[in-house]
Structure 1
Amino acid sequence: MKIVVTGSKGFIGKNLCIMLREHGYKNIIEVDRETSQELLENYLRDADFVYHLAGINRPKDDEEFQFGNADLTSFIAEKLKQFNKKIPLVVSSSTQATLNNAYGQSKLKAEQSVEHYGISTGAAYYIYRFPNVFGKWCKPNYNSFVATFCYNTLNDLDITINDPLAPVTLVYIDDVCTNLISLLEGSSQSGYKSVSPEYPTTVGEVADLLRAFKASRDNLLTENVGTGFTRALYSTYLSYMSPDQFSYSIRSYGDERGVFSEMLKTKDAGQFSFFTAHPGITRGGHYHHSKNEKFLVLKGKALFKFEHIATGERYELYTDGSSPQIVETVPGWSHDITNIGDEEMIVMLWANEIFDRQAPDTFARPLS
C-alpha cells in the first residue's frame, strides 16, 4: 500500500508518519512544502491512500489561505478523479470551518472539495474538524497555546492569559494518529469524523498543571500523571525539555549511619525514597498504627527484626540484593533493619502515605 501524507513535516504529519511505520506500513510517501506540484501529481497517480494534512494557518496575508487550504485540496481531489482513482482521502480541517473568517472559509472549501470527490467517485472520504491538538513536536508561539505554555514554563518565561476561565477543547496527538491509522482498516464510514477522547478544560487549568509539573522537581510531589488528560499534558510538557533539563538533583541527608533521600511523592499513593547503611548499622526501631512501608534491598545483606507491640511476639528474616524480595511493615509491629554484610547496603523504600511532621504515625520502640 502506497500512502501519501501531505504536510509530513508538520506537527500532525511528523507524528503520523512515525506511527504508521510502527504499525508496519513501509511505503509512506511524504509530501512537504519543498515537494513540487509535478511530483505531487506523480505521487497521487500511484497512491492507494491519501492523508491530506498540509495547510496554511499563519499566512503573511489572507490570500494564502485560499491557495494553501482551498486550492491545494481542490487540486488533490481533482487529480484523483482525473486518474480515475477511488482511493480514500482524509483531510485535516478545523472547528473554525463554521466561522465567517478567511481561514475558516478556506477550510470549509477544502472540506467541500473532499466531500464532492467522495460522492462523485464513490471513494471513501473522511473530514476531521480538529479542535486544539496538543502533543510533542508542536511549535511554540505558532498555533498551539499548549506548546507555548509548555515551552515558556520550562524556560521561566511569562505566560499571557487573558481569561483563565476561557473554555478550550483539546485532543492529544497520539489519539489523533491512532484514529487516523484506524481508517486504513477500511471499516469506517465516510463523512465527518472526530477524535476520542476529547478533553474539555480551561486555559487557566492547563497553566496551573504545567506550573505543578515544574514545581515537582523541588517539592517532589507528582500529579496523577498516569492516566487521562494529565498523562497526555505531562508527556507533552516533558517533550519540550532540552537535553540539559533531563536531570535534576534531590536532597540527601547523611549521618554516621549512611544517607537518606526522598525521590518522589504522590498525592494519594504515598512516596518513594532510598537509604544506605554502613556495615553493622541498624535503622528503624519504631512502629506505625496505620502506615505501611515496603522495603527492597538493592545491594547488601539485611536482617529484618519485628516485634508485636501488644503481645511481644518476635520474628526475623534475612534478605539481600542478589535475590530481590519485598519486605513489608505491618501496623502494630515494631521493626528495624540491620546491615549484616561487609559492604554498604542500599535499600529502596515505598510508604503508602507522605510523611507528615505534624502527625507522623511513627513511634520509637527499639528492638533488643
Structure 2
Amino acid sequence: MKLLITGANGFVGKNLQVHLNEMPDVSFKCYTRENHVSELKSMLQDVDAVIHLAGVNRPQHEQEFQEGNADLTQALADSVRSVSKEQKRRIPILYSSSIQAERDNPYGRSKKAAEDILRKLYGETQNPVYIYRLANVFGKWCKPNYNSMVATFCHNIARDLPIQINDEKAQVQLVYVDDVIEALLKIAFKAITAIRNKKPAPVSGLKLAGPVHTKTVGDIAKHIQAFKNSRETLITERVGTYFKRKLYSTYVSYLPTDKFTYTVPKYGDERGVFVEMLKTPDSGQFSFFTAHPGITRGGHYHHTKTEKFLVIKGKASFKFRHVVTNEFYELFTDGDNPEIVETVPGWSHDITNIGNEEMVVMLWANEIFDREKPDTYASPVLNNTEQTKK
C-alpha cells in the first residue's frame, strides 16, 4: 500500500510517518510546505489513499485560512478527480478537520468549506471521503506555546517555568495523537482493501478519531504538576491506563535531556543500603536493598502488609517462623535463578546473605510505608535447633 500524506511535517504528520515506517508493507509520499499544488496530480499517480493533514490554524493574515484550508483542499479534490477519471479507480481521502468547523469563525468556516469541497467530490464521483473533526490533539512532538495547552503546560512545567490559567474550570476536549493515527489508518486500510477487492468501501462521512477526553484546564495542570512532583515524593499518579497514561507519556516526552534522570535517597549502614524507587496510591511501593556477606535483614512480622522479594545478585537464605505455632521454614534462592519469595502475614521472616559477594534484592510491598502505622513488629526468626532449645 502507498499513501500520500499532506502536511507530513506537522505534529500529527511526524507521528504518522514514524508509525508507517514500522509497517513493512506500507510506503508513503510527503506533501509539505516545500511543495506546490501543481505537484499534487503527479504525486497521486500511484498512491492508494490520501491522508490530508495539511492546514493553517494560526496565520498572520485571515486570508491564509482560506488559502491553506479550503483552497488547498480544492486543489487536492480536483487532482483526485482527474487521476481517478484517467485511471478509472477511486482514491480514498481522509481529512483531518476540526471541531471548530461547527463554529462561525474564520478558521471554522475555512475547515467547513474544505469539508464541503470533499463532500461534493464524493457526491459527484463516489470517491470515498472520510472527515475527522478532531478535538485538541495532544501527544509527543506537539509545538509548545503555539496552539496546544497541553504541550505548553508540559513544556513549561518540565522546565520549572510558570504556566498561565485564565479559567481553571473551563472544559476542553482532547484526543491523543496515537488514537488519531490508529483511527485514520484503520479506515484507510479498510478502504484500500475493499477497493482492491472490488467491494464497497466503508461508508463515507464523519468519523471519530479515538476517544475524546473532556477535562478541565485546572485538572490537566494539576495532573502534570503531580507528574513532576512524583520525582520528589516518589508517589506516582495512576499512569497505567486511559487518559492519565496518555498525558503522562506526553509530559515525559517534553523533558529536556538533562532531566532524563533524577536521584532518589539512599539509606546505608553497616549492613548495606536501602533505596526506595517508586510509590503508588493503591498498589504499594518498590525498593531495593543490599546486604554484605553474612548479614541478616528483617526479623519481624506483619499483620496485614505483604511483600515480594527477588534476589537479583548473590545467594540468600529466607527463614520463616509462625508467630503463634512457632512452625519453622527455610528456603534458599539466588540471583542466577529468579524466584519470587513472598512474606506471609503472621510469619516472622528474615533474609541472610549466605554468599561471598554483596547481595542485591528487589522488594515490593503492597502498601506505602507509614511511620505512624508501620505494621512491622520485631520478632527474631530462630532455626529448628534454636527453637527446640527454647
Query: Following superposition of structure 1 onto structure 2, how do residues 213-252 of structure 1 map, counting pairs within 5 Å?
Result: 213-252=227-266
Provide the rounded CA distance (Å) in 2 between the counterparts of 1:24 and 1:182: 16
Q: Figure out how many residues of one structure are paired with residues of the other and give that number.
A: 368
What is the letter of the counterpart of residue 243 of structure 1?
T
In structure 2, what is the equivalent of residue 6 of structure 1? Answer: 6
1:257 is aligned to 2:262: no
> Out of 299, 302, 327, which is 2:313 matched to?
299
Q: By how many angstroms is 1:80 displaced?
A: 1.2
Q: Does 1:342 align with 2:356?
A: yes
> What is the rounded CA distance, in whole Å, between the counterparts of 1:188 and 1:10 in structure 2?
27
CA distance, structure 1, for counterparts of residue 309 and residue 370 of structure 2? 20
**Maintained 8 Å contact 1:20/1:181:** no
For the 8 Å contact 2:130–2:206, the answer to whether it is kept is yes
User: After alignment, is 164-173 or 42-51 more displaced?
Assistant: 42-51
Equivalents in 2 of 1:276, 1:171: separation in Å?
45
1:25-174 pair list within 5 angstroms: 25-83=25-83, 84=85, 86-174=90-178
Query: Is 2:207 the counterpart of 1:207?
Result: no
| C-alpha distance after superposition, 1:295-350 (max 9, x if no partner) | 00011111111110001111111111111111110000000001111110000000
| Alpha-carbon shift at residue 25 of structure 1 (Å) | 4.1
Contact 1:222/1:265 (8 A) holds in 2: yes
Q: Distance in 2 between matches of 1:345 and 1:100?
A: 68
Distance 1:226 1:23 in 2: 26
- Structure 2 distance, partners of 1:231, 1:2, is 32
SS at 2:261 equivalent: coil
1:355 aligned partner: 369
User: Unaligned stretches of 5+ in structure 2?
Assistant: 192-200, 383-390
What's the offset of the Cα at 1:48?
1.9
Structure 1 residue 20 corresponds to structure 2 residue 20: yes
TM-score normalised over the length of structure 2: 0.93
Instruction: Look up the match of 2:190.
Output: 185
Contact 1:45–1:80 (CA<8 Å) still a contact in 2? Answer: no
Task: Quote the Cα distance in structure 1 between the aligned partners of 2:216 and 2:299.
Answer: 49
Q: Assess if the C-alpha contact under 8 Å between 1:44 and 1:76 holds in 2.
A: no
CA RMSD of aligned residues (A): 1.1
Shift of 1:73: 0.3
**Deviation of residue 98 (structure 1)?**
1.4
SS in 1 for 2:172: strand
Aligned residue in 1 for 2:196: none
In structure 2, distance between residues paired with 1:102 and 1:316: 76
CA contact (8 A) 1:70 1:106 kept: yes
Aligned AA for 2:205? G
Contact conserved, 2:165 with 2:218, CA < 8 A, in 1? Answer: yes
Deviation for aligned residue 1:100: 1.2
Structure 1 residues 249-278: Cα deviation after superposition (integer angstroms, max 9, x where no partner): 110000000000000000000000000000
Equivalent pairs: percent with the same residue?
A: 58
Report the AA paired with residue 190 of structure 2.
E
Aligned 8 A contact 2:227 2:237 in 1: yes
**Structure 2 residue identity aligned to 1:247:** T
**Alignment-mate amino acid for residue 56 of structure 2:** I
Inter-partner Cα distance in structure 2 for 1:232 and 1:154: 16
Whichever residue aligns with residue 212 of structure 2, its letter is E
Q: Deviations over 1:18-53 (max 9, x none)?
A: 212323343200111011233233102333211110
SS in 1 for 2:288: strand
